[in-house]
Structures are given as structure tokens and as C-alpha cells.
Amino acid sequence: MSAMPIAEPPVQACPLRAAFERLRAGFDAERDPSHAVRIERLRRLEAMLQQMAPAMITAISDDFGHRPEQVTQLADIVPVQLAARHARKHLAQWMKTRRVATGLVHRPGFNRLMRQPLGVVGVVSPWNYPGMLALAPAIAALAAGNRVMLKPSEIGPRFSELLREQVAATFAPEEMAVVTGDAELGRAFVALPFDHLLFTGSTAVGRQVAMAAAANLTPVTLELGGKSPAILATDCDLALVVPRILFGKLLNSGQTCIAPDYVLLPRNLREAFVKAMRRAHAAQYPTVAANPDYTSIATERHYRRLLELLDEARAEGAQVVPLHAEAPSDAARKLPLHLVLDAPPHLRVMREEIFGPILPVITYERVEQAIAHVNAGERPLALYWFGNDEAERERVLRQTLVGGVTVNDTLLHIGQEELPFGGVGASGMGAYHGEWGFRTFSKETGVYHQSPYSAVKLLYPPFGAAFERLLGAMRKLG
């Protein structure tokens, strides 16, 4: 969905609205699906993914220009399979209505917490990881008992059409639906009165989505992006650290919302870091343009934007260090990793999320300077810390506020179904994955059960001495 002003719903909003109303009617007919029904829907989604995987690999690669099969397996297929398996394993526990503590003044009554489906959940997914970022939220929403409507990115038309066909063949239109179209349809989609809306994409478009949802008082989960730092401590082992940073940066050619956007490292490690990065690049990607393991930049516009970032950095006196002898390949839209050293802070590469194989390197003398640099910008979606000093690690983590953290590696926190995944501030709001996703797409309803032996009648008027005694007891016991 492109960044454009919110407009009136277009003519094509009519079939869009009809699809939404079918889902709404489906929910109204079955407002609290049983555990067995939810499990069966999750199993159908898993079977669908297994069946469509070969075509999915081809479609995503064609949408990108080239994307390795292994990247799609690693990032778009296996994580969804694991998420579905995790949800099935834990769903019965998540669904339970549970007793919770009751204050003394309200006993012998008792409290319960009930989790209920919200209704119809909308999911707007991006092009960079089109399988995972569409189907992982759908798993959480189905597990919570909702109906789901997906709008995948128009930048990946082959995968979007494949997903639409497969969902239509697997789910009834009142269970789950996929709609495809351009930014105009995207604007109409987010203006629908969903019971919850999850959007993954840029911060700029996320603001527009939040504004559109606000008209319906629709709660939103926004998974955005930002400039996620990798902070190297003085005691880090470059031989261990650098290959992990390079892998996290170049997976999907850096077109990852939680990719390391820049590196902060002690000044005395700079030259050794550059040399180690060059060696790691040669080891993981000995060639670029003809390398089947190297992903293309998805669109010509994004490819040109990255080249412009490098041109501006050179023109403004930054040291641009290509880590491979190959020049950028316009034909393949492949760009070797470039480090940017000594970049002035006003450069776009220092202010904007890069989303590609460019990595600014910033040096510091004391860790306080690294913390201050992170906190001077908008809150990032991820932070990576490399080192062995536990006290310093905790200081960095507690003095910064970010979406999520991986210590001594990159990216891997996104794969933890036992942890929430989400941003903060400009990098997003809300979270999902595992039980966190189930709760995001549920209404947690507090229920108080009054006892027939309650003394509450002593609070009824006319007020007198009994009222004062009971009020005094409430103050003491409360």
C-alpha cells in the first residue's frame, strides 16, 4: 500500500464490503467457535501452506526478480508452520476461562477472566516477507476464534493472487478471505469497520492506517520499522560477531524490517570490523549478480533509491566502502553490501530506514554515547547487542526502549513464539506471536460472580451506622 492521502472509498469498495459482510455474518452465526473447530481451521491452513509451498517459492521469486528458494523456506514457510504447530499445542490452555484473585472486601464472591473472539480481523501484509507476514497474524486470529480478511501487497502480485486462490479453495468465504488490489483498494480496506486491524509496513503508511481505523474506533496493531542498531561492546569477538551481523543484514538483501540498520562500535575496532566484514561477505556471498543465494531488490524504485543513498553519501564526503569487487547489477537489481563510514548526521542514510544492503558504521568512545545515539532517534523495532559483559548489556537494554532484542546475534527474536513481537513509538504498537497474538485478537473480559452471602446490602440507602462500619472495614481490608 503506497503512501497516499486517505480518500473516499472507491467503486471497488462495494465487492470489498460484500466480502467483509460475509465474514461478519459468519462470525455472528458462530460467535465462540469450539476448540475442535479452531484446531480444524489451523490444520487446514497448515495443509494449504504445505500444498502451495512449491508454487509460493516460484511466485515470490518472480515477484522479487530473484529470491532464493532457501530464503522463502527459512523466512516465509517454516516460521508459519512452527507458529501453527505452537498454536495448536497451546490453544486449549489459551482458551480457558480462569479464576483470578479477588480482593478480601469482595469475597465470598469471585473473579474470572474470559477470553472471547473479537469478530472480523483485518490483516494488511507487506511484500518483503509476504507469506509469514500474512499468515502468521491469520494463525493468531483464527486461533482466537475470529474471521480473517487479508490484503497482501500489490508489489507482490503473483504471490498475492496465489494466496487469494488458495485461501478461496481452502476456507469458506465466511471464514477467511483474501482481497487483492492497488493502493486505492488498500485505502478502502483499512476504512472497513474491523474489530481489529493489523498492518505491517512503513511508518508513514502506518500513520495513515491508524487515522483511517480511528474513524471506526478500530483497535490497531502496527508493525512498522525504523533504524535498528547493532551495538558492539569492546570485548566482543569480531570473528564470531561479524558473520552474524552480515547474515542478518543480507538475508533478503536487507529488505527486512528488523535488519541491522547501522552499527555502533568502539572507535578502536573500526578498521578490524571493516576487514572482518569484507572476509565474511566473501565467505557467504563470493559473487553477487550471478549468485543464486543473493536476493534481488524487489522493485526498480527501491533499487534506485539505494543507489541514490550511496551517491549522496559520497557527495557529502562520507567514506563508502563496497565489500565486494562487483559493481551493482542494474539488470539483476543486485547490490553488494556497502559500508558507509564518517557519514554526517543529516544524510538520508543516517535518517531513513535503509531497507537494503547499505550499513552505516558509527564509532563511540564510551557506551553512554552509543546509548545516547539510539535514544536521540525514534524508537527502533529491534536492537542487537554483542558482548560478554552482563552489567553493560543490562545497562544498554534498560536505558533504551525498542521493539525487541536479540543478544549476540541478529533477527532471531522474531522466531520466538514464546515472546511478543511488536514495536514501540514510531516502530509500531501492539504485539503478536504465540499467546501474545491470541490475546491481541481476543477480548479479555473480567467477570465478577457475586455470592448470595454478600454483605453488599449494608451499602444500600438509607445510610447509617452499618454503612459507616462496612466502609471502614473496606478501607482496612482493601
What's the one-letter identity of residue 112?
R
Report the alpha-carbon distance of residue 363 to residue 49 in Å, rounded: 45
Q: What is the mean pLDDT of residues 226-255?
A: 97
Q: What is the mean pLDDT of residues 245-257?
A: 98
Residue 412 has pLDDT above 90, yes or no: yes
Residue 13 has pLDDT above 70, yes or no: no
Q: What is the mean pLDDT of residues 15-26?
A: 96
Identify the DSSP state of 74.
I
Helix (H) or strand (E) holding 203: helix 203-214
pLDDT in tens, 154-211: 999 999 999 999 999 999 999 999 999 999 999 999 999 999 999 999 999 999 999 9
Give the other-Cβ count within 10 Å of 105's Cβ: 15
pLDDT score recorded for residue 3 = 45
Asked if 236 and 243 count as a contact pair (C-beta separation under 8 A), the reply is no
Report the alpha-carbon distance of residue 422 to residue 386 in Å, rounded: 21
Asked if 357 and 249 count as a contact pair (C-beta separation under 8 A), the reply is yes
pTM to 2 decimals?
0.94
Q: What domains sit in the chain, N to C, each tagged with a CATH number?
A: 13-224+428-444 (3.40.605.10), 229-422 (3.40.309.10)
Report the alpha-carbon distance of residue 388 to residue 167 in Å, rounded: 47
pLDDT in tens, 333-369: 999 999 999 999 999 999 999 999 999 999 999 999 9
pLDDT score recorded for residue 362 = 98
pLDDT in tens, 271-317: 999 999 999 999 999 999 999 999 999 999 999 999 999 999 999 99
Q: Give the 3-state secondary structure of residue 100.
A: strand
pLDDT score recorded for residue 14 = 81
Mean pLDDT of the chain: 95
pLDDT in tens, 455-477: 899 899 999 999 999 899 889 88
Active site positions, annotated: 223, 257
Q: How far does CA 459 lie from the centroid of its chain? A: 49
More confident residue, 3 or 274: 274
Asked if 413 and 406 count as a contact pair (C-beta separation under 8 A), the reply is yes
Report the alpha-carbon distance of residue 321 to residue 180 in Å, rounded: 41
pLDDT in tens, 88-147: 999 999 999 999 999 988 999 999 999 999 999 999 999 999 999 999 999 999 999 999
pLDDT score recorded for residue 434 = 97
What's the one-letter identity of residue 176?
M
Q: What is the mean pLDDT of residues 321-336?
A: 97
